Amino acid sequence: MITTATALLQVDRLTKRFGGLVALDRVDLTIWPREIFSLIGPNGAGKTTLFNVVAGIHPSDGGKVLFRDADITWRKAHDITALGIARTFQNIRLVPTMNVLENVMLGTYSRTKSNLADIFFALPRDRAERRQARERAEELLATFGMADRRAFMPTKLPYGDQRRVEIARALASEPALLLLDEPSAGMNPREMSELLDLLLQIRETGKTIFIIEHNMRLVMNISDRVAVLNFGTKIAEGKPAEIQTHPRVIEAYLGSKRN
């Protein structure tokens, strides 16, 4: 669902090395507003590394990352979040000592402006921002069908619900671009179907979604476009139907055909 000719995210010849290992080799990607773009590939292909470079967790060793035409290649992770990119992780990173509502509220703090004095003396700006954070978190939990579990501790929730909380926390930062790393991991078929509906609902609010995913059913049912990495190199990009029949993609997943 591309609604404008201006790209939201551009990855230009992105390169990342870890010692002698080339994890990303001059990768190019363009993602458009309100698009659901999936990145797939075998284990070790470089997918999460690409997310980590885009999100400012790992520095690039070459190439550029542009977000809304601004060069963010060397920005710190918290700056990139403030600019409008939020992410989830392959391994769930909820704070176990905070309840569901508090975990989601954490996502709002990249938007707050209170300083130490505001917080220490509980000045009006801090009180207002805390109230707004709570209201935003409550709204997201209602949207995700989890309002009745706001006081639960994360470890008491089913795995699929923990994923929902993590996505809600990312959305609490009001991102334009949402990076989801293996959002369906550990989900049963019912939870995955609910996730698909949820992601489509999120896109309808105007968000752009960039997904790393191994579940091909989810990828093929939800994606506007799909790119494929193998050994750090992009080997294909196109619509889901094109990717399903692409010979290099089939070879990467199944191996070379042998006589």
Q: What confidence tens digit (pLDDT) does each residue in 17-63 have?
A: 999 899 999 999 999 999 999 999 998 999 999 999 999 999 999 99
- Three-state secondary structure call for residue 139: helix
| pLDDT score for 252 | 83
Q: Could you tell me if residue 91 is inside a domain?
A: no
Assess whether 192 and 152 both reside in one domain.
no
Assess whether 2 and 107 both reside in one domain.
no
Assess whether 80 and 179 both reside in one domain.
yes
Does pLDDT of 112 surpass 80?
Answer: no
Q: Could you tell me if residue 90 is inside a domain?
A: no
Does pLDDT of 3 surpass 80?
Answer: no
Assess whether 138 and 106 both reside in one domain.
yes
Alpha helices in 9-158 (DSSP H): 47-54, 77-83, 100-106, 116-120, 124-143
Does pLDDT of 139 surpass 50?
Answer: yes
- 192-223 pLDDT tens trace: 898 899 999 999 999 999 999 999 999 999 99
| pLDDT score for 4 | 45
Domain boundary among 154, 169, 184: 169
Assess whether 164 and 185 both reside in one domain.
no
CA distance 31 to 227: 11
Angle 124-143/159-171 helices, nearest 10 degrees?
A: 140
CA-derived radius of gyration, the chain:
19
CATH classification of the domain holding 61: 3.40.50.300
Assess whether 181 and 228 both reside in one domain.
yes
- Which tokens in the block code for residue 181? 């790393």
More confident residue, 104 or 115: 104
Assess whether 128 and 227 both reside in one domain.
no
| Number of C-beta neighbours around residue 119 at 10 A | 15
Assess whether 125 and 204 both reside in one domain.
no
Assess whether 1 and 74 both reside in one domain.
yes
Assess whether 78 and 198 both reside in one domain.
yes
Q: Span 238-257, mean pLDDT?
A: 83
Residues 6+ apart with CB under 8 A from 29: 9, 10, 11, 14, 37, 39, 50, 227, 234, 237
Count of structural domains within the chain = 2
- What share of the chain has pLDDT > 90, as a percent? 64
- Three-state secondary structure call for residue 221: helix
- 90-103 pLDDT tens trace: 888 899 999 999 99
Q: Could you tell me if residue 131 is inside a domain?
A: yes
Q: Could you tell me if residue 243 is inside a domain?
A: yes
Structural domain boundaries, residue 251 = 1-84+175-259
Domain boundary among 127, 149, 169: 169
Summary mean pLDDT of the chain: 87
Assess whether 16 and 49 both reside in one domain.
yes
Domain boundary among 152, 169, 186: 169
Q: Could you tell me if residue 89 is inside a domain?
A: no
Assess whether 41 and 76 both reside in one domain.
yes
